[in-house]
């Protein structure tokens, strides 16, 4: 390739996708997001500028100015996905959520800036909605060749049971995701990723690695986790420790809540509240606590030297948990970059 691949990352967060692209040699010139709290981590770890702005106020002309001349212009982004996820299926008002229409803004920017390559990542459920179908047909009307695939993350070396839809588009040639890199026999496991970390108690902060800190458990949750088994459910507990909702008929389906992970398997999907024992299968496999912030970051494939905070005295579980849980896994960014580079050759 004589021309250089240069990307702009919409909805960039703290830079998971950006970091993955950069690791594979795609220059990211800027990341755009409305969340100012992401600026430090984004710029401290990536050779890119953080632009705090709503994409609906950006024009294609603004984007064009960011790219150097004679570059292959790549536009990537993961619009906030909560509004399309399984957890919001029962919310009839979610179509009124401002985030619902952000994919249309993405399409508008494509029409106005005409990048050479596009990548969009989101939850698989998005393909069932008109907004996604309009996005695809809009790209095709602009003469892009479009492919999309639901990625089973463990099959690409990402150590969590996470499924994501990855769309790739190009005007020059069809871009396909590279073949899967892992099979069940060589999945990356929880132990592979976090097994080397020092032991800590619930509520403790490691004296060297300040991100290796865990949420303090309530007395009853301490009793619950003592009775929890790797990969088990709240059915392993004494009846007195179960919640009222567990005893209802519809409560029987939520068996992963308050669960421990297994050392020998990939983790559960890392969400924005992975540090809280009661919000999913986020119990440490052997230590009596929930995952630490560091463990969540590693399971999202952030490198251990990734900087998440400026001042250790102001670390917020809520804020950093949101940053990590909302991020595109760095490894998935690498897979997207490899796929783009392969097609460009």
Residue indicated by tokens 């993961």: 78
Residue indicated by tokens 């401290």: 44
- Using left for φ > 0, alpha for ψ between -120 and 50, and beta otherwise, residue 3 falls in beta
Is the distance from CB of 112 to CB of 59 less than 8 angstroms?
yes
Is the distance from CB of 50 to CB of 43 less than 8 angstroms?
yes
Is the distance from CB of 192 to CB of 159 less than 8 angstroms?
yes
**Which one, of 47, 98, 108, lies nearest residue 77 by Cα?**
108
Active-site residues: which are they? 81
How far from the centroid of its chain's Cα atoms is residue 185's Cα? 24
Under DSSP, the state recorded for 327 is: S
Give the sign of the dihedral formed by CA 269, CA 275, CA 279, CA 284. Answer: positive
């Amino acid at each position: 390739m004589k021309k250089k691949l240069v990307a702009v990352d919409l909805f960039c967060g703290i830079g998971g996708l950006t970091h993955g692209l950069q690791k594979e040699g795609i220059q990211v010139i800027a990341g755009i997001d409305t969340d100012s709290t992401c600026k430090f981590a984004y710029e401290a770890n990536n050779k890119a500028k953080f632009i705090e702005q709503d994409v609906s106020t950006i024009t294609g002309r603004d984007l064009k100015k960011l790219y150097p001349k004679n570059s292959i212009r790549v536009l990537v982004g993961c619009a906030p996905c909560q509004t399309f996820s399984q957890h919001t299926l029962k919310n009839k008002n979610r179509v009124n959520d401002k985030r619902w229409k952000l994919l249309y803004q993405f399409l508008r920017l494509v029409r106005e800036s005409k990048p050479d390559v596009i990548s969009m990542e989101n939850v698989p459920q998005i393909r069932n909605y008109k907004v996604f179908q309009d996005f695809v047909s809009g790209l095709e009307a602009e003469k892009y060749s479009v492919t999309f695939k639901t990625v089973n993350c463990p099959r690409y070396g990402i150590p969590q049971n996470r499924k994501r839809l990855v769309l790739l588009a190009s005007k020059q040639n069809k871009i396909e995701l590279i073949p899967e890199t892992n099979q069940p026999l060589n999945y990356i496991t929880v132990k592979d990723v976090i097994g080397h970390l020092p032991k800590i108690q619930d509520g403790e902060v490691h004296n060297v690695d300040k991100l290796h800190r865990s949420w303090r458990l309530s007395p009853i949750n301490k009793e619950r986790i003592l009775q929890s088994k790797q990969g088990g459910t709240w059915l392993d507990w004494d009846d007195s420790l179960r919640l009222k909702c567990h005893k209802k008929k519809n409560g029987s389906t939520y068996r992963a809540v308050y669960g421990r992970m297994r050392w020998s398997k990939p983790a559960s999907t890392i969400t924005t509240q992975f540090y809280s024992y009661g919000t999913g299968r986020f119990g440490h496999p052997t230590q009596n606590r929930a995952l630490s912030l560091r463990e969540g970051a590693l399971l999202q494939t952030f490198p251990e030297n990734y900087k998440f905070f400026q001042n250790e005295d102001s670390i917020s579980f809520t804020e950093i948990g949101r940053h990590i849980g909302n991020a595109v896994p760095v490894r998935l960014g690498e897979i997207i970059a490899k796929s783009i580079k392969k097609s460009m050759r």
